[in-house]
Structure 1
Amino acid sequence: MRRTARMLVVLAVAAATVAGCAQPGQLGDPAEDTAAPAPTAPAAGDGSPPRLPQLLGSGLVEDPLQIRTPGPAVYSVRTASIPPGIAIGWALHPGTETTIVTAGSVTLQLENACDPVTYEAGDALFIPDAVPHTLRNDGDTTAELVVAYLLAPGAPDQLSAPAACPAA
């Protein structure tokens, strides 16, 4: 159960949910080759070819997942750093969060799943809508994260929540 809530695929699922239905091959359908074609012309500017998308991390959501919004949604992607020994207090989001650890490691606790789970560079984690959680850096190097939210327009990124698990 170490990596129960990890995933990057949810980014594609969320985008497909918000933007419309996925086409065959977009979500890993083996029937079609989904590799991006090699660039044929240099990018404007310095003459170097455009960079193709790079995989930053991946994870798995073991439970069925359905993402709905009652109306328009805002999708934002940010970077964050958590120094060693720092914990982000208990919080929840009025929407979903997908986080990719690009350096270091973080430990996550979720309400109703209080056993801490550690995610390392290359791992992704998913936090469902309105689930209280805390994230901390128990390591000895700064954790670097890419954080994506899917929220209602005007909703705050996060709200404070009371501690849902005993201190670890």
Structure 2
Amino acid sequence: MGRTGRIGSAVTGFAAVLALAGCAQPGQLGQPAPTPAPAAAPDTAVAAPAGPQVVGRGVVDVPLRFRTPANADYAVRTLDLDPGEALGWETHPGTELTLLDAGQVAVQEGGACAPRVLAPGQVAVVGEGVAHVVRNTGTEPARLVVTTFLAQGVPEATPVPPACPEEPAPTG
């Protein structure tokens, strides 16, 4: 093989190497290795619980019997009270069920002025036309879940004068 043949073979071999290098995958035959992708952040989302969640469960300490003379409007709402905050004396044209979700409240009703203190999960039932007040007596915010079954077309609540003497302020 002459000098031209050797040069031709070398050129052909070199061309083959270049061709193979062009087909090489990253990290092979001098191709730069891939930069690893940043690790995905772990999925920290908490899956929503399936089905309805119970906010509270307990025993109502009075027999329940309520009815409405006609269709009634109902509402379920949450209400937050800061420590020491009170809703004010009022009556409703229907029945109110107040479940304490967090904190501590006292419920006073006209005719039975001794306050009932509720702990989380307990409920107060206030009948139609009963004057009452709900007061946060704890040191933390209180969260109430209030359900009302009220006569249609009338105000939800009517403010009334206090039906019981004010509780004395704590001393100390």
- Same fold at TM > 0.5: yes
Q: What number of residue pairs does the alignment pair up?
A: 122
RMSD between aligned residues: 1.9
Identity across the alignment (%)? 43
Q: Unaligned stretches of 5+ in structure 1? A: 1-47
Counterpart residue identity of residue 70, structure 1: P
Matched with 1:54 is 53
After superposition, residues 15-34 of structure 1 pair within 5 angstroms as none
Rounded to whole Å, the distance in 1 between the matches of 2:58 and 2:91 is 20
Equivalent residues of 1:103, 1:144 under 8 A apart? yes
Q: Unaligned stretches of 5+ in structure 2? A: 1-46, 168-172
TM-score by length of 2: 0.65
Rounded to whole Å, the distance in 1 between the matches of 2:89 and 2:105 is 14
Matched with 2:65 is 66
TM-score by length of 1: 0.66
The change in CA–CA distance for 1:63 and 1:79 in structure 2 (over 3 A counts) is closer
| Structure 1 position 51, deviation (Å) | 2.4
Secondary structure of the residue aligned to 1:77 is strand
Counterpart residue identity of residue 150, structure 1: F
After superposition, residues 1-40 of structure 1 pair within 5 angstroms as none
The change in CA–CA distance for 1:157 and 1:59 in structure 2 (over 3 A counts) is farther
Matched with 1:109 is 108
Higher helix share: 2
Could you say which structure has the larger radius of gyration? Answer: 2
The change in CA–CA distance for 1:50 and 1:83 in structure 2 (over 3 A counts) is closer
